[in-house]
Every structure is written in C-alpha cells, then in structure tokens.
Structure 1
Amino acid sequence: MVRAGVQQGAARSAALLTAGPVGTALGGPLIALMGPRGVLAASGVATMALAVVGAAARIRSTRRTAGRRDPLRAADGSGPCGGAARP
C-alpha cells in the first residue's frame, strides 16, 4: 500500500523536474515576443492574480465551514447519548 505522503512527494518531484525544461522552452519565445521587461511585468501580474484568487478561495472556504455546526453536538451542548460533549 502506498501512503499519501509518498504520492504527494512523487507528484511534487515530477512537477519540479519538468518545470525547468518547460520554462526554458516557453521563456525563449516569450522574451523574443514581449521583451524581458514585458515578460517580468506579465509574470508579476499573473502572480498577483493567482494570489488574489487563492485568497478569495480560502476566505470563501473558511466562511462555509465556519457556519456549519457539528451534527453530533446538540444545541444545549450535550453530546450523543446525553453525555457532555468534548471541547
């Protein structure tokens, strides 16, 4: 049985190993087309856009989970079978 951590490590290694050659293959034509300053500006704008999207997704997911209540915990604070719920 393969553990999840091993699979995540393999996926990360695969992404890192392919990032260099792909960046080199795409970077040359982009620099020729847009120039170095344009590529750096576009990279900065893309990074900021991804940060905004990621932050919005995180805020949205925390708001959804914060509004949910625990189905095993009763409104009066007692747990299942009448016992006190754990904190």
Structure 2
Amino acid sequence: MSDKKANAIAYWKENIKYLSILLLIWFIVSYGAGILFKDALDTIRLGGFKLGFWFAQQGSIYVFVILIFVYVRIMNKLDKKYGYDEE
C-alpha cells in the first residue's frame, strides 16, 4: 500500500471518529435533553421557560450550529495534520 493511500485511509478513519462523536453529542442534546430528560430539566427555568422545553425548541438547534463550527475547526486541524490544507 502506498504512503498516499495509507495517509488517506488514516485521514478518513479520524474524520469518521470525530464526526461520530459530534453526532452523538447532538443526539444526546436533541433527543436526550428534549425528550428523555425533559421532566427532570423542566424543574430548571431559563429566561422564564422550562429548560426541557427550551432544549426541545431551541437548544438543540443552537448546539447543532456550535457543533458545525467545532467540526470546521477540527477538520482544519486534521487537514493540516495530513497535508490536505495545501490544495
């Protein structure tokens, strides 16, 4: 196997690992906080709204947007690490 192909395989393995972690975080926030843990979170108020309701309506969207920026930052570092930032 050539070095270039081995480099590409390692790059994609690491990319999939980061993507899986970020999607798991989003799932936990959107499904967990908005549905599974809603009753427990509703005991806390945020801006006059119950926290479980807030996560179901807006919080998961905010977390998703933040995760997009985190993903961009991680991918920029990953591109530099594997030499794909030059193209």
TM-score w.r.t. the length of structure 2 is: 0.39
TM-score w.r.t. the length of structure 1 is: 0.39
